[in-house]
Amino acid sequence: MAASNDNDHSLISRFGEIKQMRFLARRLGFYVVALFAALTINFFIPRFLPGNIVESMMAKYPSLKPSAQRALEILFGIGHNGSLLHQYITYLGQIFTGNLGLDLLQFPIPVIDIIKNALPWTLVLVGTATVISWVLGTGLGIIAAWRRGGKLDQLLPALSFLQATPYFFLALILVWLLALRFHVLPAQQGFSNGLSIGFNWAFILSAARHSLLPALTIVLTSTAGWMLQMRNVMITTIGEDYVLAAQAKGLSPKRVVFTYAARNAILPSISGFALALGFVVSGTLLMEIVFNYPGIGLTLYNSVTSNDFPLTQGIFLIISLTVLAANILADVLYVIVDPRSRTRAVA
């Protein structure tokens, strides 16, 4: 009988492993599908839009040489290049070799180079601001839940207001107040004109100054959101019986709040954070427009308004990929942090 018991144990734990692997495999499968969906949408957009893209572009930019037409046609697979399926496969092949085509407005600079120039601006600014607001918001949320009825609770209406405000509007207000009325911070752009990009001190300082207002906008609006979410989850968690048990054990309040309650309550926030990172790239478009900040959002906007299609397509793709990557990160984090998701019982 003992041997049989061992078999049971190993079978059940193997079973847990099998379920876990299947779970991860399924997630991976989903991401592959989503990736292809993004690529396919990207492929079809120019084909759904009215008019022949290539010809209207050629007409719009008379400076383009005939070779550009060929290049465009290759990029879009329009016209002479065989069946739709063939074009799709060619397109995929191009994507996987990193060939996103050539930009129109600044022909013949490859799209990918333009993206490479713009992306760091967004990533650094928005990434840092997101991290700051997450840490701040989550921390404040924990405290607000702990000290219910205290001072922080009185801020709730104000925080709701901040959260509900469209963040570009807040940006407008901040620019008006701090830059134009009171001339404290620069209103526009990533760095002062006349400076060259590079690791020189003047540039870095200027860039830092210019990033303060945008960062402030992000922090103000996002912190409120994180804080409210964390607060709500914490309050629910504090009401659970295991927190009561921890208190009954005589643990210090700090330990109860952080090790027991917050540890559980933070789970949705962590996955939310990973996903927020994904939206770093796409979500700050409006803000970059207000500040004329040379990030990828502004680049996208400009490319759309000037019908610079290869660039639009390329950026859209990059954004999709970033979001997907962030989702994978979120899933991985969730599995690491939440033990329940690691071994799933018979469902």
Site for another protein in 187-226 (CB under 8 A): 187, 222, 225
CB 160 within 8 A of CB 228: yes
| For another protein, the closer CB: 103 or 331 | 331
DSSP state of 63: T
DSSP state of 197: P
How many Å is the Cα radius of gyration of the chain? 26
| For another protein, the closer CB: 81 or 302 | 302
Q: Does 21 bind another protein (CB under 8 A)?
A: no
Q: Does 104 bind another protein (CB under 8 A)?
A: no
Cis upstream peptide for 253 (omega within 30°): no
DSSP state of 295: S
What is the amino acid identity at position 151? Answer: K
Instruction: Give the nearest distance from C-beta 148 to another protein in angstroms.
Output: 6
Q: Which of 87, 122, 138, 327 binds another protein (CB under 8 A)?
A: 327
Cis upstream peptide for 108 (omega within 30°): yes
Q: What is the x/- site pattern for another protein, positions 269-288, by CB under 8 A?
A: x-xxxxxx-xx-xxx-xx--
| For another protein, the closer CB: 23 or 203 | 23
Q: Does 341 bind another protein (CB under 8 A)?
A: yes
Q: Is 292 helix (H, G, I), strand (E, B) or coil?
A: coil
Give 203's Cβ-side CA count (13 Å radius): 7
Cα angle value 208/193/173 (rounded, 5°): 60
Q: Does 68 bind another protein (CB under 8 A)?
A: no
Q: Does 229 bind another protein (CB under 8 A)?
A: yes
What is the amino acid identity at position 216? Answer: L
Q: Does 112 bind another protein (CB under 8 A)?
A: no
Q: Can you spell out the DSSP letters for 145-157?
A: HHTTTSHHHHTHH
What distance in Å separates the CA atoms of residue 322 and residue 32, rounded to the nearest whole number?
14
| For another protein, the closer CB: 127 or 268 | 268
Q: Quote the crossing angle between the two packed helices 309-337 and 2-48, to the nearest 10°.
A: 160
Instruction: Give the nearest distance from C-beta 84 to another protein in angstroms.
Output: 20
Number of residues that bind another protein (CB under 8 A): 107
Q: In this chain, which stretch among 84-92, 94-102, 191-199, 258-266 interacts with another protein, using CB under 8 A?
A: 258-266
Site for another protein in 115-144 (CB under 8 A): none
Q: Is 169 helix (H, G, I), strand (E, B) or coil?
A: helix
What distance in Å separates the CA atoms of residue 280 and residue 167, rounded to the nearest whole number?
14
Structure tokens at 192: 């002062």
| For another protein, the closer CB: 108 or 166 | 166
Q: Does 61 bind another protein (CB under 8 A)?
A: no
Q: Does 59 bind another protein (CB under 8 A)?
A: no
| For another protein, the closer CB: 1 or 85 | 1
Q: Which of 149, 194, 198, 339 binds another protein (CB under 8 A)?
A: 149
Q: Does 100 bind another protein (CB under 8 A)?
A: no
Instruction: Give the nearest distance from C-beta 312 to another protein in angstroms.
Output: 6
